Amino acid sequence: MKTLFIVAFVANIILNIVSIVILPERVAIHYGEAGIPNGWAPNWVNALIMFGTDVLLFVSIWFAPYLTMKTPSKWLNLPHKDYWMKEENKPRMLAILTSLMHEIGAALLLFMFAIGLLSILANLADPMRLNMPAFWVVFWILMIYTVYWCVKLYVRFRVPSPPTTSSGECFPS
């Protein structure tokens, strides 16, 4: 997932560069519920906002697991944090959290890519209009994936069961 996360970030940067080259000087940057533009900006401002959003998203997700390790546990909202913040469990916590963050980061950056592409297509269309059915499909895919990811986070951060013996007892007699 780390590779997909990085590739999605690079794809967004390339899409921003392409948008500067192919879009007119003034572009729609916001659309109403019918997909009709209702907010405008110079092309370079749009590209700068998208670039800044992509970089901020990438950097914050990339460093989130490491910042979590440095944060006092009282400030963390992590399932079973008392267990996971013990020194002996921190390496596994870091590995799990890094993997999960790369997953959600890839999903968010792919969403940003899809929205950027839909916006480019809308700005090139005549009449100018955002493809709302495509937007809602992409949006709901992200929402459903986010629910799945949250459940996965809670499952991955459950407290492991104590080892059992072959007779099914937790501890030998």
Give the domain range for residue 40: 2-156
pLDDT at 170 over 70: no
- Number of C-beta neighbours around residue 91 at 10 A: 10
Residue 60 lies in a domain: yes
pLDDT reported for residue 72:
87
pLDDT reported for residue 165:
57
Please state the rounded mean pLDDT for residues 105-120. 97
2-12: pLDDT as tens digits: 999 999 999 99
Residue 168 lies in a domain: no
Q: State what percent of residues in the chain have pLDDT above 70.
A: 94
Number of structural domains the chain divides into: 1
Residue 19 lies in a domain: yes
- Contact by Cβ (8 Å): 138, 111: yes
Q: In angstroms, rounded to a whole number, what is the distance separating the alpha carbons of residues 80 and 73?
A: 11
Q: In angstroms, rounded to a whole number, what is the distance separating the alpha carbons of residues 93 and 90?
A: 5
Q: In angstroms, rounded to a whole number, what is the distance separating the alpha carbons of residues 4 and 115?
A: 18
pLDDT at 65 over 90: yes
What's the mean pLDDT when you consider all of the chain? 92
77 confidence band (pLDDT: 50, 70, 90): confident
What predicted TM-score, i.e. pTM, was given to this entire model?
0.87
Give me Rg for the CA atoms of the chain.
22
